[in-house]
Structure 1
Amino acid sequence: MTTDQRIDNVPDGRLLEGRRNWWFLGPGGVARLGGHHLAPDGTLRSETRTRLRDSGMYTPPAVRFYSLTVLTSTHCNLGCGYCFQNTAQDREGGSRPPRIARTRLTSETITSILDFTGRRMADAGLERLRILLFGGEPLLNPRGCLELLERAAGIGMDSAWMISNATLLTPALARRLADLGLDSVQVTFDGDRADHDRIRIVRADGGGTFETIVRNIVRASEASPLRWTLRVNVSGENIHGVDALIERLAAGLDPERCTLYFARVGDVGIGYANALLHTGELAERFIRWHRRALELGFTVNRPRAPRPCATCGHADGRYGAVVSADGTLASCWETAGKPDWEVGDVTGGYRPGTDTRDRWIACEDLYRHGEDARTLARFRDRVDAALLDRLHETGCLAS
């Protein structure tokens, strides 16, 4: 049976072939199956589907909190060529690609955002709020980050996270953010040190950032209980250094406080070129990286069935919102702050669906991989099946 058949024959879930068993990934969780659970044509037997449904595997978890993303600054101090907030490549090949317009979150806009959020939470019947501090680089406006978290406590915020390049994160700031409810930070590495310092560069002078980022994570960890998600971008420019990067991160950071994941860098139509395809030995590399990360004590996110993003997966913004620093609404991170992609603002709310239909995009809708969906699905299935096998072997799947 091929991956193509599995995709077609498992509605509302994924069926993956492991080394010794099958894995079913549904909206409600993961189930380990044997060959006897499948019909001769490779589909799930009707009694298997019934048992999975009765055990909740087809039932998505209830939405527990409203997901609010706020860009505290649309400016960034780095000049990464692939950033989806660029509007083109740097014509001179340097570190200053043109970006979306620069705006900065103010106290007045925070008031409007929280008023809007309170109304949306009431409409959705949700009392808990989770905030993502986003940018640009959010720490170019630390005052805005701190004020937003402090004031959001009054409308039910009980947790928050941040996506940051960490070059501006000091121990004192980390401690203050954590005291106000920030629990984790996502930081990106673009390969091992030498590759990273060619790709993830300071906008002002093109300088490298690897040692600064690692040092700041170490110091922030000493000063606060923050946890870290380390995203490793994978491209043709850095793929050969990823194995060494994993070892270096394990030696320099505390793996027990870090989740590690790997993502191929794509292009959102700004001219960034990554010829690396989801074919050949790329799946084996991802499998090897996951195994080594687990051996070194990192957390690796378990695979799951596709589910709508709380923020952009509902066309009416039912369970979340993305707000730029000036109060305009976007459907997704990838279009925040971009001209002609607004879907409303926090004062007037969302525009009618007839006006925003062509502007409402979900996660990765704009990315161009140069490959068809079946190729991407085969890659994902192969990597995820191997990861589930490993998590099961090490007893991590049940945790």
Structure 2
Amino acid sequence: MGIRLSRYTLEIPDGNGVYLFNTYRGTSVLLSVEQLQLIKQIVGRTGSDAGDPGPWSAVIGFLAENGFVVPAEIDELALAIAKYDRTIADTAAVSLVIAPSLRCNMNCYYCYEGKDSDSALGAHDLESLLAFITSRLTEGGSLGITWFGGEPLLSKSFIVAAANRLREICHRMGVTFAFRMVSNFYLLDEKTAEELAACGITSVQVTFDGSRDEHDRVRRASQDGQPPADSFDRILANIAAAGKHLRILARVNVSQLNIDRVPTLLAQLDAAGLQDCLSGLYFYPVFNYKASDSAANYLPRANLHFSMEDFARRERALIDLARAHGFPPFTPLIFEVGYLGCYASVANGFVIDHRGTILKCDHELGAGGSGRTSIRDFSRIDDDPDLSKWGAQRPESNPSCRDCPFLPLCYAHCPHSNLVLTEQGPRCPSYKYNWRDVFPIYLRERLGAEG
């Protein structure tokens, strides 16, 4: 029986060595160029049925055990799709995004959420929310919640009450849990950070839109006049204080309008001494998504949005600049074994909006979606076609995905964009275009190698 290098094994040069990274197994190893050449020779001999590999048996065993080589006749695509099917059908893992309100104290121009609704989850909805979540939990399973908005801290009392009750439920059922939040940080002072930590929220993501001037211009005051124009400095002060109690991840939104100011932003974060306050910092392109203009959804506008390919060409330089200022890179979730690409495809992945409607994707927030199921009546949730259609999407249905070595990482990436971009093909992640440049950064950190 012959063997061959896996179709999902990437060779990633880095200095005098080469990383092998298997996208199906999530395994990685650093080799010298000479070691890799020798391994290929060994695999070639074994692959031609040259007989017992003899002294190379241990090497072949290591490579096979970690998925870098596979039996020649194995159908790896079938294995990858089977893994996908197992993961999306696993009901033991519950992953929720909950937006108690769409109200926000900022008015960013690119926000896709409608904020004209005064509806919000309140104390009268708490029991319904708990009943729905409990109905999806499995003894010994897991629960992940991301509190979202609008600005979720405008519903702080509801979130704290819900989180405390959910912790009790999880402890009683032996369910592991992880509570997170996405916040603009204007309201997240140290006292609030202590409150969040006390109810089990361990990490919060904050987003920047460029340097101080750019940030304050984009993060425009809402109709009630809050926050003031100088929100940037208050946010930095809050990060410094909250970092004593929470893990804070910073995301920098990048567009053609602000990319030239990113160096200034990083210098300002550096001057504020936030390196030890942030668990990671990453960059992401602002994308075009407005439910009122469905024909333009996800398609970049000239002079405003980067295409993912254009962003990918700039991403390594941005990461290097952040590292030069002492900010740790955020290792993407794709390096976590079992990562699927998006919670929307998973059986127990849901979004709960400000009305209590159960959706599948946070891009439907404020767009009304077409959800028919509510936390107040979820008895027919499995029969809701607006929810079940997400599971019907097949990652292997597009030829460019089926033949891609990244299929086991992203499984066609964003299901919502693929529903919209039916003629343009999948909206691929940036690493498809720059993995040779950016993966060494994460692999060095992962393997503890110098670099």
1: CA distance between counterparts of 2:134 and 2:340?
A: 22
Which letter does structure 2 place at the counterpart of 1:352?
Answer: D
Aligned twin of 2:216: 197
Which shifted more, 353-362 or 140-149? 353-362
Letter in 2 for 1:26: T
Q: 1:35 to 1:263 in 2, by over 3 A?
A: farther
- 1:169 correspondence with 2:188: yes
Structure with a larger share of its residues in helix: 2
| Equivalence for 2:242 | 220
Of 426, 431, 434, which aligns to 1:383? 434
Shift in CA distance, 21/84, structure 1 to aligned 2, threshold 3 Å? same
- Aligned equivalent of 1:264: 285
Which stretch of structure 1 is more off in the superposition, 134-143 or 200-209?
A: 200-209
Q: Distance in 2 between the 1:357 and 1:164 partners?
A: 30
1:252 matched to 2:272: yes
2:125 maps to which of 94, 109, 113: 109
Give the match's secondary structure for 2:344. Answer: coil
User: Displacement of 1:357 after TM fit?
Assistant: 4.7
8 Å contact kept, 1:343–1:351: no
Matches of 1:328 and 1:35, distance apart in 2: 56
**Which residue does 2:344 correspond to in 1?**
312
Question: In terms of mean alpha carbon deviation, does 293-302 or 207-216 score higher?
Answer: 293-302
Q: Select between 293-302 and 139-148 the one with higher mean Cα deviation.
A: 293-302
Residue 118 of structure 1 is matched in structure 2 by 134
Q: Deviations over 1:271-309 (max 9, x none)?
A: 6843423446x4453112212323443332334369425
Give me the identity figure in percent: 25
Q: Which runs of 5+ in 2 are unaligned?
A: 42-46, 50-58, 69-79, 171-175, 294-299, 394-412
Contact 1:344-1:351 at 8 Å conserved across structures: no
Shift of 1:128: 3.4
Q: CA deviation at 1:178?
A: 0.8
* Structure-2 separation of matches of 1:27 and 1:38: 20
Q: Using a 3 Å threshold, how does the CA distance of structure 1 residues 104 and 31 change in structure 2: closer, same or farther?
A: same
Name the aligned partner's letter for residue 54 of structure 1: E
**Does residue 352 of structure 1 match 2:371?**
no
Structure 1 equivalent of residue 178 of structure 2:
159
Cα distance 1:72–1:22, how it changes in 2: closer, same or farther (>3 A)? same
Mapped to 2, the partners of 1:235 and 1:50 lie a distance apart of 47
Q: Secondary structure at the match of 1:215?
A: helix
Contact 2:12–2:439 (Cα < 8 Å) also in 1 = no
1:57-116 CA distance string (max 9 Å, x none): 877998885322211212111111111214xxxxxxxxxxxx363321212212111111
What letter matches 2:192 in structure 1? L
Deviation at 1:160, TM superposition (A): 1.2
CA drift at 1:210: 1.4
Matched, 1:298 2:327: yes
Structure 1 equivalent of residue 404 of structure 2: none
Are the aligned partners of 1:291 and 1:390 in contact in 2 as well (CA < 8 Å)? Answer: no
Bigger mean CA deviation after superposition, 344-353 or 325-334: 344-353
Q: TM-score, normalised by structure 2?
A: 0.69
Q: Deviations over 1:126-185 (max 9, x none)?
A: 443232111111011111111111111121164311101111122211111111111111
> Which of 207, 215, 222 is equivalent to 2:229?
207
1:26: which partner in 2?
23
CA distance in 2, matches of 1:211, 1:289: 22
> Once structures 1 and 2 are overlaid, which stretch shifts more, 383-392 or 192-201?
383-392
Bigger shift: residues 63-72 or 242-251: 63-72
Distance 2:48 2:375 in 1: 48
Higher Cα Rg: structure 1 or 2?
A: 2
Higher RCO (C-alpha under 8 Å, 6+ residues apart)? 1
Measure the CA separation in 2 of the matches of 1:269 and 1:178. 34
The DSSP-based 3-state class of the residue aligned with 2:340 is coil
Provide, for residues 302-333 of structure 1, a one-character-per-residue CA deviation record: whole Å limited to 9, x for no partner.
Answer: 3436942563122xx32x32211322101011
Contact 1:109-1:326 within 8 A present in 2 as well: no
Pair 1:333–1:49, CA change in 2 (3 A): farther
Q: CA RMSD in A?
A: 3.8
Q: Which residue of 1 aligns with 2:145?
A: 131
Counterpart CA distance in 2 for 1:23 and 1:299 is 23
CA contact (8 A) 1:341 1:359 kept: no
